Structure 1
Amino acid sequence: MRKKIVAGNWKCNTNLQEGVELAKAVDTLVAKEAADDVVVVLGVPFTHLTKVAETVNTNRIGVSAQNCAAEAKGAFTGEVSAEMVKSTGAKYVILGHSERREYYGETSEILNKKLALALENGLTPIYCCGEPLEVREAEAQNEFVKKQLTETIFNLPVDEFKKLILAYEPIWAIGTGKTASSEQAQEIHAFIRSIIAEKFGNDVAEETSILYGGSCKPGNAKELFANKDVDGGLIGGAALKAEDFLGIIKGF
């Protein structure tokens, strides 16, 4: 049985005090109203990790970094290693997000190093893939996403791959107000599951949670999550409001 997962990605938002208050509000609402079978994750800025991990019930809500360094340690000013992330109480790390790829030049080579270090330190990667608008308009999204996965997570041994959560993010639907239709989301999620099956077998493919990450809101979560191959969401803007985030969690 695949896990149902709703992960918030706060991105570069909230100062520490605001973040702790938001985490408290989410913690309270989840305890009162969220179904027990939905895994909830908060992806918070590095500065917030320790305090948020101390604030929420970590048996119910997982805490995630939004990135980690591609090196284990050393003279890399400003970097935060996977071991450092782990030491805060965080259990997850978001890797391969389109904003990291586009704005910070993260390549498959860099991401392979980050994946290895995250897994070595016992973190669960939430690994992102997805295509920009011009690729979608050319109807080349399947080839684009397959290449992203073939160059990175498909290089992992099966036992390591099974530790991952995948997130498909249509880049053209992030922060734009556009959303992939329910049919478009199902189609690409089913394709991703099919190529996992080709690489690692049907059993592994059926166990792998694939999240949708493109302008998911309380109003469309139920329709998106009803799809056979959509196992939850990686949520941006709506994760910054506790009630909206809960509304998405209740979309199952």
Structure 2
Amino acid sequence: MPRQFFVGGNFKMNGVRQSITDIVKNLNSAKLDSTTEVVISPPALYLTLTRELADPKIGVAAQNVFDKPNGAFTGEISVEQLKDTSINWAVIGHSERRVILKESDEFIARKVKAAVDGGVSVIFCIGETLEEREANKTIEVVTRQLNAAAKELSKEQWAKVVIAYEPVWAIGTGKVATTEQAQEVHAAIRKWLGETISAQAADDVRVIYGGSVSEKNCRELATQPDVDGFLVGGASLKPAFVDIINARI
């Protein structure tokens, strides 16, 4: 079976009760591609509000989760707490946490494992900086990030993971990887899945693209054979997010 197209919306640290309510109501009333899986990720404070308001067919993701089940970890959220509030997805490894908060590949991999072990599906973000791109280290970097997760997950657990390739130099900059650049890296990730995890994982695991995705560039990107969807930042806060969800219609 073909992989189901997937579009995630990462609100980051944006929105208040009213604006998030408006975004969710707009999605509920819009005609969305029924063959596309949609997951939105509001700030933690509004997770339960979003889950209560959103149509059941729209998934809701936390923007982070901790790798320990409970305890003296001020400010963190556990997998159990997500499950308890019907939040079944988490965005893990976003470059803003890797770069700004200095989260290591190993720490991120442990969080991915904790989420999957606890029944929470993961949008697992990987990607290279501009310096790494210019040094021709893109594949080396994403492979290193993937290998860290491979040490933690069983082959079967990759079925609960969506890999989001997000070149750091394209996030929030207006710069977008060309369709050829995106496809090249996505194909390399799929090759890695086949060689490192399993042939089934290579066939089944969705690899989505993130980095200044908009209603203007999404349709061309969606035509690439190894681009299975998008992780959208700023554009997910706007009505045009519907156009990105419907990129293949």
TM-score normalised according to structure 2 size? 0.96
Equivalent in the alignment of 1:6: 7
Matches within 5 A, 1:43-58: 43-58=41-56
Alignment-mate amino acid for residue 157 of structure 1: S
Q: Distance in 1 between matches of 2:150 and 2:233?
A: 23
Contact 1:43 1:63 in 2 (8 A): yes
SS in structure 2 at match of 1:156? coil
Matches within 5 A, 1:43-82: 43-58=41-56, 60-82=57-79
Contact 1:20 1:48 in 2 (8 A): no
Identity %: 40
Q: Distance in 2 between matches of 1:153 and 1:130?
A: 16
Pairing 1:22–2:19 present: no
Q: Distance in 2 between matches of 1:44 and 1:172?
A: 23
Equivalent in the alignment of 2:240: 244
Contact 1:167 1:213 in 2 (8 A): yes
Q: Which runs of 5+ in 2 are unaligned?
A: none
Alignment-mate amino acid for residue 55 of structure 1: L
Equivalent in the alignment of 2:94: 97
Pairing 1:190–2:187 present: yes
Equivalent in the alignment of 1:151: 148
Alignment-mate amino acid for residue 44 of structure 1: P
Q: Distance in 2 between matches of 1:13 and 1:152?
A: 29
Q: Which runs of 5+ in 1 are unaligned?
A: none
Matches within 5 A, 1:179-218: 179-218=176-215
Q: Distance in 2 between matches of 1:247 and 1:167?
A: 19
Contact 1:49 1:89 in 2 (8 A): no
SS in structure 1 at match of 2:33? coil
Once the two structures are superposed, residues 181-226 of structure 1 have per-residue CA deviations (whole angstroms, 9 ceiling, x without a partner) of: 0110000000000010001222220111001001110011000010
Cα 1:9–1:181 shift into 2, 3 Å: same
Q: Distance in 2 between matches of 1:89 and 1:47?
A: 14
Contact 1:131 1:171 in 2 (8 A): yes
Cα RMSD, aligned residues only: 1.1
Contact 2:155 2:198 in 1 (8 A): no
Q: Distance in 2 between matches of 1:123 and 1:180?
A: 30
Pairing 1:165–2:162 present: yes
Once the two structures are superposed, residues 134-158 of structure 1 have per-residue CA deviations (whole angstroms, 9 ceiling, x without a partner) of: 0111111011110111112354111
Comparing 164-173 and 82-91, the one that deviates more? 82-91
Please state how far the C-alpha of 1:125 moved relative to its aligned partner: 0.5
Please state how far the C-alpha of 1:16 moved relative to its aligned partner: 2.2
Please state how far the C-alpha of 1:57 moved relative to its aligned partner: 1.3
Please state how far the C-alpha of 1:97 moved relative to its aligned partner: 0.4
Q: Distance in 2 between matches of 1:226 and 1:3?
A: 14
The correspondence for 2:105, drawn from 99, 105, 108, is 108
Q: Distance in 1 between matches of 2:213 and 2:182?
A: 11
Contact 1:154 1:199 in 2 (8 A): no
Q: Distance in 1 between matches of 2:135 and 2:87?
A: 39
The correspondence for 2:225, drawn from 222, 228, 233, is 228
Q: Distance in 2 between matches of 1:154 and 1:247?
A: 37
Please state how far the C-alpha of 1:246 moved relative to its aligned partner: 0.4
SS in structure 2 at match of 1:104? coil
Alignment-mate amino acid for residue 185 of structure 1: A
Q: Distance in 1 between matches of 2:140 and 2:108?
A: 19
Count of aligned pairs: 247
Contact 1:24 1:56 in 2 (8 A): yes
TM-score normalised according to structure 1 size? 0.95
Alignment-mate amino acid for residue 204 of structure 2: E
